[in-house]
Amino acid sequence: MEAILASILIFVLFIAVTLLVLIKVSTISALIVLFIIPVIMVLIFPDTTLSFLSHELILLLSDQVQLTNFHILLFIWAALISVITYTEFITWYLKRQVAGSKQKGSDNQGSKNSSDHLSFNLNIDSVTDRIKTTYEKYVK
């Protein structure tokens, strides 16, 4: 039971560090952290890490299939890669939408600096306005 609680604590800490890097730094850094931490642990403490990853948590299907910490690590990787990919896609989409609206605005205002569409200053009001207009467009 203590080994299961230790495993949960280690994986929660791993997830927290990865998500903190995702939120505070960048998606690329979060991907690097996601893969580098286990590799570094294997290089620094090979026996301890391998015994931790091969620790059997649950036996399924009449003791034919074992669920180890390595399987949990793979599940966490899949979930966090999905979150990171989704975050990157949403960021790209919002940047594209803001750049398109600024470019349309610069066409109407005459000569404006062409690098303005590269800056990404998105506030909550513009996001909520965009959501409202999209909702009204498709619902009504």
Render each residue's pLDDT in the chain as its tens digit; 140 residues: 788 888 899 999 999 999 999 999 988 999 999 999 999 999 999 999 999 999 888 888 888 888 899 999 999 999 999 999 999 888 888 888 777 777 666 555 544 444 444 444 455 667 677 777 877 777 76
Question: What is the predicted pLDDT for the residue at 133?
Answer: 80
- Which pLDDT score, from 0 to 100, does residue 109 have? 52
What is the predicted pLDDT for the residue at 119? 44
Answer for the pair 50, 42: CB distance below 8 angstroms, yes or no.
yes
Residue 58 confidence (pLDDT)? 82
The domain segmentation of the chain, as residue ranges, is 2-139
DSSP string, the chain: -HHHHHHHHHHHHHHHHHHHHHHHT-HHHHHHHHHHHHHHHHHHSHHHHHHHHT-EEEEETTTTEEEEHHHHHHHHHHHHHHHHHHHHHHHHHHHHHHHHHHHHHHHHHSS--GGGGG-----HHHHHHHHHHHHHHHH-
To the question of pTM greater than 0.85 for the whole model, the response is: no
